[in-house]
């Protein structure tokens, strides 16, 4: 199966069950999950979650895309996402195995998601949300999106930054 899209160093492809061990390594790491779920996920939770993500691929009208991010050589380094959130916005996201932090993959994949969403999928506007304390992601989004506002997120008890980019 061809990649969904590529960046200079990375390929984005559909997840599959062969990704489970690396997916679990990522999602089972509290440092990776700190600003999302706030806890590491169990193997069974990750297996179930991966199966659900894979099942979305074949659903008619799917608006929940989570893909594997791999190196050109095929090494799993993380995931990225383009979903329609509960506000009807088209939101991007990414997550990487901790051992691949600091390689510039976050910014590279964000630029790839923007290009793919706006130009290939013809989406008019993309958004991103980040906890203000997540400094690496704040830096990535400051460099690639337009900051709209900073606000207290009552549900998650944190200060979030909300970003947009339009065609």
Looking at residue 4, its pLDDT comes to 96
Q: Give the per-residue pLDDT at 68.
A: 98
Q: Are 141 and 161 in contact (CB under 8 A)?
A: yes
- Judge whether 163 lies within some domain: no
pLDDT score recorded for residue 2:
85
- CB distance 76 to 57 below 8 Å: no
Q: What is the CATH number of the domain that holds 82?
A: 3.40.630.30
- pLDDT mean values, one per 10 residues, the chain (167 residues): 93 98 97 93 97 95 96 97 96 98 97 97 97 96 98 92 97
pTM of the model: 0.95
Q: Is residue 130 part of a domain?
A: no
Sheet strands side by side (includes 125-131)? 5-6, 10-14, 64-71, 76-84, 90-96, 125-131, 158-166, 146-153
Number of structural domains (the chain) is: 1
Q: Is residue 117 part of a domain?
A: yes
Cα–Cα distance, 165 to 167 (Å, whole number): 7
d(CA 27, CA 33): 6
Q: CA–CA separation, 73 vs 55, rounded Å?
A: 26
């Amino acid at each position: 199966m061809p990649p969904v899209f590529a960046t200079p160093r990375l390929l984005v492809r559909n997840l599959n069950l062969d990704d489970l061990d690396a997916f679990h390594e990522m999602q089972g790491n509290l440092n990776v999950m700190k600003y999302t779920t706030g806890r590491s996920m169990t193997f069974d939770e990750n297996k179930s979650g991966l199966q659900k993500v894979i099942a979305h691929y074949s659903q008619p009208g799917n608006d929940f895309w989570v893909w594997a991010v791999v190196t050109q050589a095929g090494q799993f380094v993380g995931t990225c996402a383009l979903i329609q959130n509960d506000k009807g916005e088209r939101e991007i996201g990414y997550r990487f195995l901790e051992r691949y932090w600091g390689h510039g993959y976050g910014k590279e994949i964000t630029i790839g998601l923007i290009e793919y969403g706006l130009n290939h999928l013809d989406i008019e506007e993309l958004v991103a949300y980040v906890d203000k304390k997540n400094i690496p992601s704040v830096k990535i989004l400051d460099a690639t999106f337009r900051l709209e506002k900073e606000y207290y997120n009552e549900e998650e008890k944190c200060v979030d930054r909300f970003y947009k980019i339009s065609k």
